[in-house]
């Protein structure tokens, strides 16, 4: 699939399936393989190998070439970038049971995922950091809906923070996000396409892409974390 201007590809996978496969297929550089070998716990090793392998295979698919030969670097902020092609943006997220990567010919791109069954101090965090309209929306919900809704907003904010290369902190209170009917994400930053997907694997997946015309989300074949979206929204 060619990576045309304005297009974004997003791929998800189960780290414990894709990690060993990425190592076996030689998708990682020698340095990355050595880094993976030094991670003692299998879960961490698989997560690292899966994230790098998925990103490299997705870039190889969109741009051509071998996954291990794709020149990747990291900014001082921690944001990864593709060396030598300033038109392509990349973003990575990993959480328990899921790894996801996004690549696109857009001017800014971020992806984030969170398990929906997490139980953070949702209302307290929202009252401290979120915009008043977001807090009012959360306060109007029955208790069991609060965490799910909070995590959806949080995931959208993390994706935007990554697109900006700043992390979530600067965007916690502005811009304002809302969850519309069918979990459709509303609001967000001007010029951005925001998408939120409730994956069958039990994760929220959010994408923030400035200037995107299309976003194509797919599970990595044979290494799915059952991510076919049961409800999705496009901005
Ligand atoms: C940096 C940050 C965006 C990472 O998000 P996360 O949900 O912790 O972890 P994820 O797995 O989703 O993302 C990790 C990936 O983000 C990428 N990343 C790291 N820093 C980044 C940045 N500044 N911009 C964009 N992407 C970044 C990296 O690719 C990293 O994966 P890698 O190290 O394997 O390459 C996040 O830690 C953050 O926003 N930190 C600030 C914390 C904060 O403000 N907290 C407020 C308290 S309420």
What confidence tens digit (pLDDT) does each residue in 42-75 have?
999 999 999 999 999 999 998 899 999 999 999 9
Q: What are the tens digits of pLDDT across the range 82-131?
A: 998 889 999 999 999 999 999 999 999 999 999 999 999 999 999 999 99
Identify the band that residue 1 occupies on the pLDDT scale cut at 50, 70 and 90: low
Contact 52, 42 (CB under 8 A): no
Cα-based angle 190, 191, 197 (whole degrees, multiple of 5): 90
Task: Report which protein residue has its CA nearest ligand 1's atom 10.
Answer: 93
Task: Report which protein residue has its CA nearest ligand 1's atom 20.
Answer: 78
> What is the per-residue pLDDT for 234?
40
Identify the band that residue 217 occupies on the pLDDT scale cut at 50, 70 and 90: very high
> What is the per-residue pLDDT for 211?
94
Task: Report which protein residue has its CA nearest ligand 1's atom 40.
Answer: 167
Contact 100, 92 (CB under 8 A): yes
> What is the per-residue pLDDT for 143?
85
Choose one of 167, 172, 204 to mutate for the ligand 1 pocket test, by most ligand atoms within 8 angstroms of C-beta.
167
- Around ligand 1, the residues with Cβ closer than 6 Å are 51, 77-80, 92-94, 112, 129, 158, 161-162, 165-169
Residues 6+ apart with CB under 8 A from 158: 93, 110, 112, 114, 168, 206
- What's the whole-model pTM score? 0.93
Measured distance CA(83)–CA(72) in Å, rounded: 6
Model confidence at 227: pLDDT above 60: no
- Ligand 1 geometric centre to CA of 167 (Å): 6
- Domains parsed from the chain with CATH numbers: 7-233 (3.90.470.20)
Q: What are the tens digits of pLDDT across the range 156-190?
A: 999 999 999 999 999 999 999 999 999 999 999 99
Measured distance CA(118)–CA(81) in Å, rounded: 30
> What is the per-residue pLDDT for 176?
98
> What is the per-residue pLDDT for 157?
98
> What is the per-residue pLDDT for 226?
57
- Ligand 1 geometric centre to CA of 95 (Å): 11
Q: What are the tens digits of pLDDT across the range 7-36?
A: 999 999 999 999 999 999 999 999 999 999
- Ligand 1 geometric centre to CA of 142 (Å): 30
Instruction: Say if strands 203-210 and 192-199 run parallel, antiparallel, or are unpaired.
Output: antiparallel
């Amino acid at each position: 699939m060619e990576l045309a201007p304005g297009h974004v590809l997003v791929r998800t996978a189960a780290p414990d399936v894709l990690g060993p496969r990425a190592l076996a297929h030689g998708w990682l550089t020698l340095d990355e393989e050595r880094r993976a070998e030094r991670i003692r716990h299998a879960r961490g090793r698989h997560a690292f190998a899966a994230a790098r392998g998925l990103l490299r295979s997705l870039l190889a698919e969109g741009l051509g070439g071998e996954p291990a030969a794709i020149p990747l670097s990291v900014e001082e902020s921690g944001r990864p970038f593709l060396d030598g092609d300033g038109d392509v943006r990349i973003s990575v997220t990993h959480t328990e049971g899921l790894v996801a990567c996004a690549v696109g010919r857009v001017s800014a791109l971020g992806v984030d995922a969170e398990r929906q069954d997490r139980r953070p101090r949702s209302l307290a965090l929202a009252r401290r950091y979120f915009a008043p309209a977001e807090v009012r929306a959360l306060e109007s919900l029955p208790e069991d809906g609060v965490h799910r809704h909070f995590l959806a907003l949080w995931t959208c904010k993390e994706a935007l923070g990554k697109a900006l290369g700043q992390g979530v902190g600067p965007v916690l209170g502005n811009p304002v996000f809302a969850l519309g009917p069918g979990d459709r994400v509303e609001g967000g930053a001007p010029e951005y396409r925001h998408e939120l997907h409730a994956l069958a694997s039990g994760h929220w997946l959010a994408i923030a892409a400035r200037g995107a015309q299309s976003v194509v989300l797919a599970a990595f074949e044979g290494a799915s974390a059952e991510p076919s979206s049961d409800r999705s929204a496009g901005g």
